[in-house]
Structure 1
Amino acid sequence: MKVLGCPGVRPFLVWVLTVQLILWGSGVSAAESIGNCKQLSYSASEWEVLKRVEPLSRKNFTVQDKSYTYIFQLCGDAGGVPGAGIIQVDKDDAGKKPTIIGMYNTTQAIGGSDWVMLIYGNGDTYKGHCSKEKRRAIIMISCDRNTDMGKLEVVLEDRNRTEQCFYLFELDSHAVCPVIESELSTGSILLIIGFSFLAVYLTGGFLYQRLIVGAKGMEQFPNYAFWVEVGNLTADGCDFVCRSRNREESQAYRGIAPDTLAEEPEERDDHLLPM
């Protein structure tokens, strides 16, 4: 109780609870968006596949061919038709009831490294094809890192068989692309972090010196006096270590200081000359 009474603890607890509620709410939202899809038989692996394509939910994808308009929605009512995952609308008779190609309450999800295949079954019954079985739709979602939500395309309607007929659709999206693992080494990451801190330091220091302190010229550089001193000390150290010249003039004679050496007076030999 004493801990809760501390003034600094309450805001921290409120902040932690807020973050937890946001994370919990986002998780619930994601589950609800794909939770409408009912599997023929529950499979944890298929549920993981559905979670990969969750960003495509709550959106109608529409495509037209010569005769029909097709509307697809992931785990939602396509075109507002209850229970329909994908429908077919007759372009020549807009008032006609849409044909349900597949229901999302009989969903199958199969996934590979860079693709996901959704199968919606239990659609409207064929009238004169495929032994009058129920329609079925296959939606192939392929990886395209440059596409957020691509365009739905009709590939074919395979109904020239006695059973297992299907409609095939294609859709591109980066949602099913595999995660690219970072190839940066530890040293590269440290360099990036270091340069980032340096950029923040220079930019923030420059703005502070210019706008708050009112410095001009080189004085705008953050901690200018300190870095000048560091530069001078570095230069002195480099000069001491790297320069090859002697710092003191070599002596002319060992043991005799240079200042003791004086020019010998000029000898006078005039007295040796004959008179």
Structure 2
Amino acid sequence: MKVALSLPYTAMPVLQLILAVQLVLLACGGQASDNVKRCGLRYESPTEAKALSRLEPLTNISFTVDETDGKESYTYQFQVCGDAGNMEGAGLVQIDKAGKKNKIVIGRYTVTQAIGGSDWVMLIYRNGSNYDGHCSKEMRKAIVMISCNRDVEMGQLEVKLEDREKQSDCFYLFELDSSAVCPVLPSKLSAGSIILIIGLVLLSVYLIGGFLYQRLIVGAKGVEQFPNYFFWTHVGNLAADGCNLVCRTRGPEDEPPTYSGVSVEPAEDPEERDDHLLPM
């Protein structure tokens, strides 16, 4: 059994607008999720996935910083879930300016750990290139601390520490400020303001959608382009009649008599009453 669903013509433009907005949001959401999904989480947990998703605005951006330590001078390049230094799988690389070793992988985004706080996210890249003579020749590891700063959309990458003077668990520490990890500020709007805004938005959609439908589809001209014009004019007339009935009162000159009196003939002129006594 087939059921035909009919909708008012004035509702069609509104539905089309809502569907278009939903499709755009869905397309944008799918594209954004693919960027952070390039990171391979070491521990597949909802907590780490949520922390990593907060870094979505920082994807597809290369952060670079120069560091000089004595005779050694390096350039570090970092990307969130992207190929730093055009090296596949490398999230953070070290470039030796002296040219002894062109590029060294500090950490790979294919082995990622993300830890999130209220206003910060710690990103850990593991499985970098092995040390030559430090840390028992273990693989390098990069820790990037991304802190909240509402005044900076994407700050400058800074090198804070290279802890390699121990037997194991060595790491590079970097810092980066960004507003992307800042918590969402609570809304200061009252419930009445929110309802008023929603009402104005719905009214605007109704007027604009109805106007376009009446003009482009129906072919209306003049005031008939207003959506449901005849309905609203009828409502206006009813409102005017109600206001006239409630707000306006009759004047004393318009009041009907409370009783019916005896009709009184107009008084005669005294001269006319004595005319019959005069001799002919």
Contact 1:33/1:57, CA 8 A, preserved across alignment: no
Shift of 1:97: 2.6
SS in 2 for 1:255: coil
Query: Whole-Å Cα distance in 2 between the matches of residues 194 and 180 of structure 1?
Result: 24
Task: Answer whether contact 1:63 1:151 (CA < 8 A) is retained.
Answer: no
Q: Residues 165-184 of structure 1 correspond to what in structure 2 (within 5 A)?
A: 166-179=171-184
TM-score (ref. length: structure 1): 0.63
Which amino acid in the other structure matches residue 49 of structure 1? A
- The aligned counterpart of 2:221 is 215
Which residue number in structure 2 is paired with residue 110 of structure 1? 115
* TM-score of the aligned structures, taking structure 2 as reference length: 0.62
The Cα shift of 1:236 comes to 1.3
Q: What CA distance in whole angstroms lies between the structure 2 residues aligned with 1:196 and 1:264?
A: 72
Identity over the aligned pairs, expressed in percent? 50
Equivalent residue, structure 2, for 1:88: 94
Q: Which has the higher contact order (CA 8 A, sep 6+)?
A: 2
CA offsets, 1:42-77, max 9 Å, x none?
766445433443564565433334632211233454
- Contact in 2 for aligned 1:77/1:83 (Cα 8 Å): yes
Residue 205 of structure 1: aligned partner: 210
Secondary structure of the residue aligned to 1:34 is: coil
Query: 2:145 — aligned with what?
Result: 140
Deviation at 1:241, TM superposition (A): 0.8
CA, structure 1 residues 255+227, in 2 after alignment: closer, same or farther (shift >3 Å)? same
Matched residues in 2 for 1:208 and 1:76: separation?
A: 47
Are the structure 2 counterparts of residues 131 and 214 from structure 1 closer, same or farther at C-alpha, using a change threshold of 3 Å?
Answer: closer
**One of 260, 264, 268 as aligned partner of 2:270:** 268
Query: What are the ranges of 5 or more consecutive residues in structure 1 without an aligned counterpart?
Result: 9-18
Q: Alignment RMSD, CA only?
A: 4.6
Alignment partner of 1:241 is 2:243: no
- 1:203 is matched by which residue type in structure 2? I
Match of 1:71 in 2: 77
| Rounded Cα–Cα distance in structure 2 between residues aligned with 1:231 and 1:169 | 68
AA partner of residue 50 (structure 1): L
2:38 match: secondary structure: helix
Q: How does 1:153-168 map to 2 (within 5 A)?
A: 153-159=157-163, 166-168=171-173
